[in-house]
Structures are given as structure tokens and as C-alpha cells.
Amino acid sequence: MEPLNPSAPSPRETDQLLVERAQSGDKRAFELLVVKYQRRIARLLSRLIRDPAEIEDVTQEAFIKAYRALGNFRGESAFYTWLYRIALNTAKNYLAAQGRRPSLIGDVADEDGETLDAAALVPDHHTPETELANRQIVTTVNEAVSALPEELRTAITLREMEGLSYEEIAAMMDCPIGTVRSRIFRAREAIATRLRPLLSVVGRDKRW
């Protein structure tokens, strides 16, 4: 095995080089950034917007906005942090223009902050009762997240979907790390409060 090259640029440094080339007029450099991040941006937006066609449209709009604003990027944060913030704002503005709220679909966090599939919170025995419980839990999680204030919903989405650090989320949301921790804690508490009655019922059923 060949030794690692200690002088090889980090992903952040590679992004910065591509950004600098794009700022100098190299459109191909920005295209490489689009290729690198478009699936991650679409995945992020899929937790806020349900319709695949709308996700594609908002993703494209976010990259267009990023390209137009590229001259303002100074590398003070990672490029993807800057890009994610643009994507989130684009999605928020898109939904607001239609009088809609973002919705989170999929994973939730347990008390230790580990990401769990909502449907995995009950045993997988494929009985009509367990399938109903699975659907009820997923529905309850989605409703709980949809009811969160925007700041809490955004923080929990970034933390549990992308696994971003508190520092990265703070940079995206332009707030102190302590505020991010508080928002994520409050979001988890709100979700847990909604789930607790369902999980207590599941726990009392000895067949599971």
C-alpha cells in the first residue's frame, strides 16, 4: 500500500480551489462543485419538500443563486456550509411563497442523539398490528416535526439528516453553538412528547 500523501489537499481545500477557479471565470470548476453536491442538496431538500419535481427545481434554483453569489464567498466557512445555507433559504422562500410549511420525512433521534429510523422503534414482525404501529409512529414524528418552529425544524433536520456538527449548523444558521444545542434539545423533547404515548402502548404489548 502506498503511503498517504500528507500534502494532498483536504476536501475543503479542494472546494476552495474550485471556488477560486470559478470566481475567475472557469465555469467547469463550478460544474464540478455541482456534480459533487447536487445529490446531497437534493437529499437535504427532500426532507423539507415532498414532490420530486419541486425538489429538482429548488435544487437547481439554489445552485443558480450560489453561482450568482459566488463572488461574495470568502472561504470563512466551508463551501458546503455556505451552499447548504443558500439551499435552505431557497426552500424556505419557495414554500413560503406557496403558503406551505416544510415537512421532515424519515429519521428521528433517540435520547443519546443517535439517528434511528422511525419505523424501527417497534419490532419488525410484519403483523397488521405492528404495521399499523409503524405507520402511526412515522405519522406522529412527521406531525411533530412539522409543528416545530422553523428554527427548531431546521436545526433537527441538519443534525439528524446530514449528521452535521453543532459548529457547522451554527455557521449555517448564523447563531451561537449554544443556541443550536438548545434548539435541537427542544426539538427532540417535542418529538419525544408526541411519541411517548405510542411507545408506552407498544411496550405493554407482550406479543412484541
CA dihedral sign of residues 69, 70, 73, 77: positive
Cα 115 from Cα 191, distance rounded (Å): 13
Contact between residue 122 and residue 131 where contact means Cβ atoms under 8 Å apart: no
pLDDT tens per residue, range 54-110: 999 999 999 999 999 999 888 888 898 889 889 988 988 888 887 766 555 444 333
Is residue 112 domain-shared with residue 41, that is, in the same domain?
no
Those residues with Cβ within 8 angstroms of residue 137's Cβ, 6 or more apart along the chain or in another chain: 118, 119, 121, 122, 195, 198, 199
Assigned domain for 6 exists: no
In this prediction, residue 111 carries a pLDDT of 33
Give the total number of structural domains in the chain. 2
Lowest mean pLDDT among 10-19, 26-35, 110-119, 179-188: 110-119
Q: Which pLDDT band holds residue 180 (cuts at 50, 70, 90)?
A: very high
In this prediction, residue 103 carries a pLDDT of 53
CATH of the domain at 153: 1.10.10.10
Assigned domain for 194 exists: yes
| Among candidate residues 32, 35, 44, the one with its CA nearest the CA of residue 81 | 44
Contact between residue 30 and residue 18 where contact means Cβ atoms under 8 Å apart: yes
Q: Which of 97, 128, 151 is the last residue of a domain?
A: 97
Q: Which pLDDT band holds residue 207 (cuts at 50, 70, 90)?
A: very low
Assigned domain for 190 exists: yes
Assigned domain for 4 exists: no
Q: What is the mean pLDDT of residues 146-157?
A: 86
Domain span at residue 86 reads: 11-97
